[in-house]
Amino acid sequence: MTQLFHEKTGFPSQLAGVQLPYALTYSRHAQTEASKDGVRTLPKILPEAFRVVEVEVIDGKVSKWVVRIELDAKRDLVLVTLPDGFVKTVWTNDANEHHATLNRRRYTHPSAFKG
């Protein structure tokens, strides 16, 4: 069973203690997408300041994190990261972009967490 949670709809309290990966490695796709967005250097470790945007859970275990980190004064870097620190893809977002049009129906309510 796959469940998807978003920061705007809430995360289950059971996920609060789950640690994100520290060391990061990048797919060729992630490196290409970063380059297209003008990102020359990708972080080798997850910085202390980051925001979890989305969490995918399959059969009660985290299968994917989407995190957002500050890239510069105008842009954030968004990383789609697997539990082992492998980054599938990246992209940049305007630092002030807040997904006002978020489709909340895509996401599971935290109270429905099956873990």
Domain boundaries, the chain: 2-7+21-97
Question: Are the CB atoms for 19 and 77 separated by under 8 Å?
Answer: no
77's tokens:
């870097």
What does the pLDDT read at residue 40?
Answer: 92
pLDDT in tens, 19-71: 777 899 999 999 999 999 999 999 999 998 899 999 999 999 999 999 999 99
